[in-house]
Amino acid sequence: MKIGVCADPNAGEILRDAGFDFIEMSVGGALRPDKPYSDFVTELDRIQKSPLPCLAVNCLMPGHMKITGPEVSMQSIKSHLNTVCERADVAGIRKIVFGSGGARRCPDAFDRDKAFDQLVEFGKILGETAARHNVVIAVEPLNSNECNMLNSIRKTLDYVRKVNMPSFLLHADSFHWGMEDAACKDFSEAGSAICHAHIATYRSRLAPGFEEADFSEFFGLLKKCGYEDTISIEGKWVPYDGTFSIDTNMQSVKEHPEHLKKAIDTIRKYL
């Protein structure tokens, strides 16, 4: 399994030395879809110079660009998705995480079944766009405090199957999974549908090793699915002022790289 972490490209060397295999960035940070192509080229240069590759990006949709409800603009959505997937292809980024709770949240007064149909329509457009640009979408279940649609891995698997496209697959996140009801936690039937994973502690969403958390069941289910690909740390780093993204502009990261190794060693215990 390849172990990565949400990070700025400037942290590539220190992360490589700690034992990481790749970095994960945000769509906005890596691909600059709302900016001119020249801005993207500048960021692309930073990505390509990093000793670690950027294999995945997250935060696909900005919160103001609604996917469900009465204010959906398919023209804006299609333009955004095409830019994101096209630039991801140029950058060699092959996985895009679709969580985007603000964009996919169903408005309170809106029909939930209609909202699901809108998500399916969006998924088909996204899957087709991703396939044209050689990228894969990892649909992320979000806990009910962050979104009111697609809250468990099993329900999200049903959604992925409804869209039914090879480029539109499933994401597993230990933090969100840890908040699910016990009856919904077994995702072993997902099998090859899982294409990416995130890891953080269950209680406080910290990087592994910085609060008590037993990941045995989570990794056990991934193994039952036959999953052995990429997993990224997407959690707060307490030693680095609670940041979610490792950046060597922070003096504490440069001075105390041992915390990075502590996290990766914690993960390796379960592999």
Q: Quick check: pTM over 0.85?
A: yes
Torsion angle in degrees (nearest 10) through CA of 154, 237, 262, 46: 90
Give the tens place of pLDDT for each residue, 245-264. Answer: 999 999 999 999 999 999 99
Residues of the chain with pLDDT > 90, as a percent, come to 98
CATH code, domain carrying 237? 3.20.20.150
Domain range spanning residue 163? 2-268
Q: Which residues contact 128 (CB under 8 A, 6 or more apart)?
A: 165, 167
**Tell me, what's the pLDDT at 271?**
96
Mean pLDDT over all residues of the chain? Answer: 97
Give the tens place of pLDDT for each residue, 209-245. Answer: 999 999 999 999 999 999 999 999 999 999 999 999 9
Residues of the chain with pLDDT > 70, as a percent, come to 100
Report the alpha-carbon distance of residue 99 to residue 211 in Å, rounded.
25
Total number of domains constituting the chain: 1
